[in-house]
Each structure stands twice: as structure tokens, then as C-alpha cells.
Structure 1
Amino acid sequence: MKLIGIEEHFLTEEVRDAWSAIGLELADPSVGFHAGAIEKRLANLTDERLALMDETGLDVQVLSLTTPALQDLGPESVDIARRINDTVAIAVARHPDRFQALATLPVSSPEQAALELERCVTTLGFKGTMLCGRVGNHNLDHSCFHSIFACAEALGAPILLHPRTPPAAVRDAYYSGFNPTLDACFATFGMGWHYDAGLQFLRLILSGTFDRLPKLQIILGHWGELVLFYAERFARMDQVAGLERPIETYFRDNLYVTASGMFLRHYLERAVEIVGTERLLFSTDFPYQYRPGRNARNFVEQCGLDPAATEAFAHGNWTRLISGLSA
């Protein structure tokens, strides 16, 4: 059974240097997480990565630039994005049976970002893109980003909404008061990241993005970034939201959900209840949740789905999702 992980990350030295040049580690504590063995694994797109994939049982990685990507960079990110995408395209060409890719976009320049997404899909053969939440003071539902989402819908290219660190004011209000290390962890992988990503998806719904772009497909990691567990509560906003459809239908029509290395059957069962087996995708969140011992494949093989749904979860749903890409 072919196993495809659709949220698997990398980091280039150029991006690391660009983050450092603007002092991003002072504003976003997650920048400091990319160190030691994690940094080494993020940087490697050759034999070492392939060996670790083999060890956990993963056949294909869909590569994406790790958070916070280029979200905090200015106009210089246009050229940086092109260089990153060209570099990743070379890695994919060297191992086309092991790697696919999601486009890195200069999101602070939305029109240029849309053009780069089109180039990546139609020329480089990429399978979509990944966005990391807010850009400056704007959430992703802001009208300035419409061109990116419109381009993705036109291409049939899915968008993975990845977590990023909440703004400083939110961290100070809700995630501080312990010690610097614990505050940083609480605001990122402990909880803050996941609330932030889930909120971005909800804002896309409530802003009418999917009414304007009904074919747009969004992916949320970590079993839906918490929002699946409150779907019934969100539905109560139907009477005031002014949307074309009930909120629950956007979960079934515009959302895919992936595991991101959280190999928990009861989370999978909840995802099935909300989005159905045809909208489940697999991922390991490499290298952050990397665990050896055939861990990834063992989870899929023992996840409790019937054989057809298991195959769909492992690779079939992703293959179908990207089958309509305009290349």
C-alpha cells in the first residue's frame, strides 16, 4: 500500500538567514525550534531524508517550507520564493517517485504570489501551496489575498493552512506568565499554533470566501486544528452568518483533514464523523513528529478503517484531490 505524507517540511539556509536578518526570532519564538537535529533534517533533501522515510514506512513526501515560511518578509520574498521553488523542483526531479512539492509563496505581495503559484503548478508540476496564517496585521480572509485563493481555485490546487505563532498581544494575554520556555511552547505547539490555524479556516468560511470560490479546497493538519471538535457549536452561527449554505457543508465540501503525525484513532474517528473518509489525508509532520520503527505505516494499517477507506487515507484521496490540477 502506497503511503503519501502531505505535510512534510524543509528549510533552506537562505530562509534561515532572511529570518535572522529581520530579527524574527524576537517576534516569533518558533524560529528557535529549528535547531540541532531538527534543523539538519529540515535541510536535507537527499539520501538521509529518504532513509528516514523508509524507516517510518513512508513512500512519498509532499515537501513544504516550514513555518513561518515567508509570511514576515517583504518584497525581497518574491525572488526568494522563486529560488526556493526552483531548488525544490530539482529535488523532486531527482526522486520523482519519492517527492512532490507545495509552492512557497511571497504572500506579502499577493499578486506576485498568485503568479508564482501558477508557475509552480503549471511549469514545475507542484501540487498546491501552503500558507501560514496571518500576514502582518491581516488574516487570510482579507480581500488583499483574494488573488491567491482565486488562482488556487482556478488551478484546482489545494491550500494547506499551516499553524503559525499568534501575535504578541495574544501571547501576552493568554499564553504568558509561566517562564519564557513554557510560554513559548504554550503559544506554539502546546496550543497557540493550532487555535491560530483553525481560526484562519473559520474566518475563510465566515467571510464568504467559499461562497465566492466554491471549488476552493483547504487542508488542515493535526486532525483539523481543533475546529472539528466544535463543529456543532459553529453550526449555531448559521442564523447570523449570512452565508449561502449551512456552515457544516463547508466542512464537507471545502475541507480536507490530515494527521500531521498525531497517530490517534479517536481523532481519526471524529474526523470521519465530520468530513467523511473521502476527505482524510495522511501526513507525518516531518521532522517534528518523526518516530522510527515503521510508525507511520503501522498506524495506517491498524487505523480501523475498512480496506477501501484505508487505501483512500493512505494515498487515494490525495491522488484524487490533485488529479484535476491545471498543468
Structure 2
Amino acid sequence: VARHPGRLAGFATLPTGSPAAAADELARAVTELGFAGALVNSTLGTDGSFLDNQRFAPLLARFEALDVPLYLHPAPPPASLREVLYGGLPGPVSSVLATTAWGWHSEAGLHALRLVAGGVFDRHPRLRVIVGHCGEMLPFMLGRIDDVLPPSLTGLAAPPSEYFLRHVWVTTSGMFSVPPVLCSISVFGVDRVLFSVDYPFGANASGRALLDALPISPADKAKVAGLNAERLLRLT
């Protein structure tokens, strides 16, 4: 990154087991190394709790203070949960279903939804979050989520979609077919969708083919291809 600042930017890796230390490392990475934010692998499997837990407040407050985004990435489930949900299947099938085929994405979507339902964005109104894989199933479900989680039930100031559309951006990482990308654009708006590949887990050529195939205007394609990321990550 230091050798090619015009081509590369970095996300920090944080020791989330200690939220205070993670906050300090985020500050070092942003202020001393010039990183654009941090990528946090889902904390459920490693720390036994989601980021809406109050113990993560110092870390989320530091994201706010530094005004950089948190990229919330999936991670494998705890062993006990994996056995309940994915046990009893052939080994390779269980492993893939628990991670890249389904489990990663449903858990990451739940994690993001917990940030909303748990009042994180009310407590941290300047927090910005990125989620991958075309929104981890959330764009498809967001209308129903609003219907069944109204403010009268949640006690929040607004329906969940309003929090998502103020605080969350989605990337196309690893999703190389047109329908889920169009769903993300139609629900979140073209200004909140960022083109992404998933190298080395997905082929870059497939990502480029998706970008070429998107049936949106050239101006909107330019936003998805790079302009949105430039604004969100303050890339120059």
C-alpha cells in the first residue's frame, strides 16, 4: 500500500477480543498509516457476542470519532451452533453450507440487523458500516423486516430500513450474477452499492463480466464501479 498509494488502500485488522485495544489500533492505523477504515470479521464465533454488545461501544465510538467505515465481514459460526444447524451432512457439504454457501451470509445479515434493532445507530449516529455479498440477504428481506419490526415494537425512532439507508453501504463481493446486484441497487439506491470482487475466493474476470453486464446507465455504472467507494473511503 505504501509503495502504490495511487492504486491501493488498506483496511486495518483489529484485536476485537479487547475493544479498547482495538479502538487504539484503529486510531493508529488511520492516523499513522493512512488506512481507510477497518474490516471486522463477525465477532460471534471468536468473541461470543455481536457488535451491539455494550462492551464494543469504545470501538464503535472510535470509528465515529475518526469518521471511517467499519466493514463487517462474515466469519465461521461457533462450533456449537455449527453442529446444530449444519451437522449430520457430509463433511464438505456441511463446511461449505456453514460458510460460503449460506451460513456466513445469513449470520452477517443478522449481525447487521442486530446493530439496527439493538439501537447501535441511535447511540452512534455517525457510524458508517459496509457489508458485502450484495447486503448479506438484507435487500431481499428489508421490506418484510420493516413490516414486522415497526417502531411500535422496536422502540426505535424509525423503521429498520431508514437506519440501513442512512448508515449502511453494500458491496458486490463474490456475487457475480445480475439479479442480486439489481436488488441491492433498487433497495439501497445506486449511491450505496460498491463494486467489489472477492479475490482469491472468486475470479476477478467474473466480477468484471458482472460489471459489464449490469443493465444500468453509464453514469450509475460509474458510481458503482468506483465513484461511490471514492466518496465513502475518501480515496484520492
Change over 3 Å in CA distance of 1:319–1:291 after alignment to 2:
closer
- Structure 1 position 268 matched with structure 2 position 181: yes
Letter in 1 for 2:182: E
TM-score norm. by structure 2 comes to 0.93
Indicate the residue corresponding to 2:149 in structure 1. Answer: 237
> Which runs of 5 or more structure 1 residues have no equivalent in the other structure?
1-91
Larger-gyration structure (1/2): 1
Letter in 2 for 1:107: T
Distance 1:263 1:188 in 2: 18
Give the alignment partner of residue 220 of structure 1, picking from 113, 131, 140. Answer: 131
Distance 1:192 1:261 in 2: 15
1:162, distance to aligned residue in structure 2 (A): 0.5
How large is the RMSD of aligned CA atoms in angstroms? 1.4
1:227, distance to aligned residue in structure 2 (A): 1.7
Give the alignment partner of residue 255 of structure 1, picking from 168, 189, 210. Answer: 168
TM-score norm. by structure 1 comes to 0.68
Distance 2:204 2:32 in 1: 35
1:297, distance to aligned residue in structure 2 (A): 3.0
Q: For each residue in 1:112-160, what CA deviation from the matched residue of structure 2 results, as whole angstroms up to 9, or x when unmatched?
A: 1101101111111100111111242211111111111111112111111
Distance 1:158 1:279 in 2: 13
1:291, distance to aligned residue in structure 2 (A): 4.4
Question: Which structure exhibits the higher relative contact order, with contacts defined as CA atoms closer than 8 Å and separated by 6 or more residues?
Answer: 1
- Structure 1 position 116 matched with structure 2 position 116: no
Indicate the residue corresponding to 2:8 in structure 1. Answer: 99
1:301, distance to aligned residue in structure 2 (A): 2.8
Distance 1:185 1:263 in 2: 18
Identity over aligned pairs, percent = 39
Q: For each residue in 1:254-311, what CA deviation from the matched residue of structure 2 results, as whole angstroms up to 9, or x when unmatched?
A: 110101131221111111121100001111011000244xx43332233112111111
Distance 1:175 1:130 in 2: 26
Distance 2:234 2:173 in 1: 22
Distance 1:208 1:197 in 2: 17
Indicate the residue corresponding to 2:49 in structure 1. Answer: 138
Distance 2:62 2:156 in 1: 22
Letter in 2 for 1:128: G
Q: How many residues were matched structurally? A: 231
Indicate the residue corresponding to 2:223 in structure 1. Answer: 312
